[in-house]
Amino acid sequence: MHITVDGTDCFAATGGREFDPALPLVVLVHGAGLDSSVWALHSRWFAHHGSSVLAVDLPGHGRSGGSPLPTIAAMADWVAALPAAVGLEKAILIGHSMGSLVAIEAAARHPGRVSALGLVGAAAAMPVHADLLAAAAAGDHAAIAMVSIWGHGFRAGLGGSLAPGLWMLGEAQRLLERARPGVLFNDLSACNAYADGIESAHHIACPTTLVLGRRDLMTPAKAGIELAGAIPGARVVVLEEAGHMLMAERPDDVLDALAALCDRAGPFQSH
C-alpha cells in the first residue's frame, strides 16, 4: 500500500493481507541499500497471525518516492510518524542493521509511539570501512560485493538457502543493484556518522529483543550484547554460525524471537 508520511509518498508491504487499523501494528525497517522485500517471509507471518504490517521502503528506496534521508535521526523521526499516517498511535518497531539504528533512535526520541522494539543484526555504532565508503561513493560494484560477502555467514557462500535452488549471495547482490544511484552511499554514511546509540539506548523503556549472529562481521555479536546492556530489560538471542543477513540465513529463528517479543507487547496467535 502507499502512504503519505511527512509529505513523501512511500510504499509499505502489508504481508499479503489488506491493512486493518483495528489490529496491533508491526512496522519493519530494512537496512542500508535494501528495501521492504527483505521482510517478505516475516511480514507475511505477522499479517496472518493477528497484526497489521507495514514493511516500509524508506524514502528514496524501493517503491517509495522522495530522496534518501541523510541521517539516522531523520529516518527515525520519519518512521515514528508512520503510525499516525495510518490513524494509529503506536507500533511494534523492528529494524535490521541500519534499520535497527533507526528503531533505537525512534524509540528514544518518540517513546509514546513504540510499544516494543526488535533489533536484528544490531549494534550501538556501525562504523563503515573507508574502502567500502569510497567504493559506494564512486558507484563501484565492489561496494555491493563487499556488503554481500561481509554480510553473510560461512554457509551462504556454499548456497545455504533454506529455499531449494536459491543463492543467498546472489540474491543480496541483485537487491543492492536495484537501489537508485547514491542510495547505498547515503545509507552507509548515515550509519558511519551515527554516534548516539548508547545514549539513546538508555532512554528505551519498552520491551526489547536483540537477535544477533555469532559470526556477524558487520555488527559483531559482542557489540550487540554491549548494546543490550544499555537497554533496561533487553533480551538477547544469539544465533550460532549466522552472519549479518539473518532474515535470509536463519528466518525461522528470527521469527521465533520476534514473535516472542510481540507476545510480550500483546498476545499474538501462535505458530
CATH of the domain at 68: 3.40.50.1820
- pLDDT at position 166 is 67
SS3 119: strand
Judge whether 228 lies within some domain. yes
- pLDDT at position 271 is 38
- pLDDT at position 164 is 58
Judge whether 271 lies within some domain. no
pLDDT confidence tier of residue 160, bands split at 50, 70 and 90: low
Judge whether 36 lies within some domain. yes
CA nearest to 41, candidates 148, 166, 226 = 166
Judge whether 149 lies within some domain. no
13-57, pLDDT tens digit by residue? 999 999 999 999 999 999 999 999 999 999 999 999 999 999 999
Indicate the number of domains in the chain.
Answer: 1
Judge whether 231 lies within some domain. yes
Judge whether 35 lies within some domain. yes
| Torsional sign, CA 62, 68, 70, 75 | negative
Question: What value does the mean pLDDT take over residues 66-77?
Answer: 98
Q: In the chain, where do the E strands start and end?
A: 2-5, 8-13, 25-29, 52-56, 91-96, 114-120, 208-213, 235-239
Domain that holds residue 15: 2-126+195-265
Judge whether 170 lies within some domain. no
pTM for this model (two decimals): 0.95
211-252, pLDDT tens digit by residue? 999 999 999 999 999 999 999 999 999 999 999 999 999 999
Judge whether 162 lies within some domain. no
CA nearest to 106, candidates 39, 194, 214 = 194
